[in-house]
Structure 1
Amino acid sequence: MNMNGRGWLLAIALSGAMPAAQPACSSLLDRELRPLAGKTPESLCQHQGKVLLIVNTASKCGLTPQYEGLEALHARLEPQGFAVLGFPSNDFLGQEPGSEEQIQEFCTLTYGVTFPMYEKVSVKGAEASPLYRELLAATGEAPGWNFHKYLLDRDGQVVASFGSRTKPDDPALLAKIEELLAAPAESSPSADGT
């Protein structure tokens, strides 16, 4: 029997078989945020099943050149199920003062950023976005500066937190990412290595 698109769906419907269900979205990712300079929020659940590095960014910081390393890391590991998610923030000495459109243009033209960037948020204190409040609750660590990094496993659970001075090519960070990429979803190592 020729199984074109409709024939395959009809065969599944007639047999009662259903495709395997996707794992439920983690509470951390179960939220909608706008892509940088975008108008329509999108669900972070689209990243469920990937190893994620969530980073608060800024365009006028001494650490801003980390964009280059973050982009290289994203490009190299994306085929294995990895993504960097950037969240611009103006929380530290006003080092991200521009509009979302200006930030997007800077990131694209200066560093060739292709990894997902989301709306400008606050990452510390009473004004912290719900995402960053949950990251703080999971790790006990709020960003102390721009380019703080939170590492999530394929199940959307925070497994590590790295300070701002940890570069994207840091051996400890890379080792942890590689470990998480090697682990399947729902059995990724926890923060204590179990």
Structure 2
Amino acid sequence: MREGVLYLGGKCQKIGGGLGRKTNGLVRRRGSGHCPELLGDASTRGLGPAICEKPFQDLEYRRLTKAGKSKLAARIDHVSQTDGDGRGFDILSFEENGKERLIEVKTTRSRAETPFFVSRNELKVSKERAEIYHLVRVFNFGHAPGWFPLSGSLDATSVLEPNDFTALPKPA
């Protein structure tokens, strides 16, 4: 892949000024002026997840508008903001043919290889709608941010390890 290209959901999106390199089999993409929220200062405490999701909503909007699909672009929904965080994805977008595209954004200040938490619902939605599900992993947030996609079912694209349990006291 060329410098300045974001690979998301099987298609290359030109973002300008980026840098791609391989590390442990992952292709890293560095952010650019097109996503200023990702280039913010190192102190991001107190900022909600929307600051990491909004650049990808904007990227989807630009992709569809550039393709002459402004009606589809106008229908993009930042569902984690409009409906809450329970739908299993953060952004409802569309392919150029009108097919839905579900985007979940996971962010860390650490390296690309840092494990991330996945809710039971996110896993369920990724399995049920694998053909349209895209997790975007943002890493080095606040430093030299980059991102890469995991498209499809999370159990096919990630190593999943159980993390927590729900406990119900036993009857006496």
TM-score, reference length from structure 1: 0.25
Q: Which one has a larger percent strand, Structure 1 or Structure 2?
A: 2
Q: Point out which structure has higher relative CO (alpha carbons under 8 A, 6+ apart).
A: 1
TM-score, reference length from structure 2: 0.27
Q: Which protein shows a greater Rg?
A: 1
Q: Which one has a larger percent helix, Structure 1 or Structure 2?
A: 1
